[in-house]
Copies of this chain bind each other. A is one copy, B any other.
Amino acid sequence: MSPRRTGKKPSILVSNDDGIDAPGLDALVRELKKISTVTVVAPDKQRSAVGHAITMNYPLRVKKYFKDRSLFGYAVEGTPADCVKLAIRCLMDSPPDLMISGVNHGANTAVNIIYSGTVSAATEGVLLDVPSIAVSLTTYGEADFRPAAGFSRRLALHVLRTGLPAGTLLNVNVPAVKGSRIRGVKITRQGNSRWDDTFDVRVDPNNNTYYWLTGKLDVLDKTDDTDVIAVRRNYISVTPIQYDLTDYKTLRKIRGWKIPVS
């Protein structure tokens, strides 16, 4: 069960959170095969909004996944982060030159980044010292993943050439419009937004209450240089992301706090 690198092509690991049978993954793999040896290790089923979950209390099982009678990849009973850990630490003979997660069906901009399984796969890649990219298409409806997959290939070539700083991943969002309507690429920051959550409260036939999460994204910061606004204006958004969550400004402010230990 060890995928092997052959020849001198770069080696790219691909994962996602929509599952190994997702069309966005398929489109991405097709494009990346033009420039690299691709290893697919992805969840066996949809794992959206799993955040950066990892599986510690259960073992992971892996199945070979075939398409058109040839091996397409490895399907893992686990989360996107599990897939990337398992691929790099166990399934692959040597670490890949690049890791790409996607193409996700739906935007991963603004606050959604913290809920995103797509981004968590790329974060896990970076934690394992592999330059990593998360790619999402900003629609939940019918989607043509080809423009996003094509851009991923070109960005992959760029990153394979220039590298990325250690500890940084790229979070890419591609507007779901015809390729010809895309206005360009913007390097952006994560927008400030929040979910205006509501719960749809229902009663089942046994008279038990249940709650469906619903709501809309409330964009608090409408500046042009944010991911949310860039994709709304039909730009491809590329945001460099890191995972030191320290709030340094507040750190300086509260340094003098005196809280009794006992």
Query: Within 8 Å of chain B (Cβ to Cβ): is A51?
Result: yes
Within 8 Å CB of A53, what residues of B? 49-51, 53, 115
Residue pairs across A and B with Cβ atoms less than 8 A apart, 18 shown, are A53-B115, A60-B211, A61-B210, A62-B211, A82-B213, A85-B213, A89-B198, A89-B199, A90-B199, A114-B243, A158-B257, A162-B257, A165-B250, A187-B255, A189-B248, A241-B245, A241-B247, A245-B245
Stretch at the interface among A20-28, A30-38, A201-209: A201-209
Contact with B along A177-218 (1 / 0, CB 8 A): 001101011011110101101110110000011111100000
Interface contact A54-B213, CB-CB below 8 Å: yes
Interface contact A243-B245, CB-CB below 8 Å: yes
A184 CA / B258 CA spacing, docked (Å) = 10
Majority secondary structure of chain A interface residues (helix, strand, loop or mixed): mixed
A-B pairs with lowest CB-CB distance, top 10: A51-B51, A51-B52, A240-B250, A242-B247, A59-B210, A240-B247, A189-B246, A51-B53, A60-B211, A90-B199
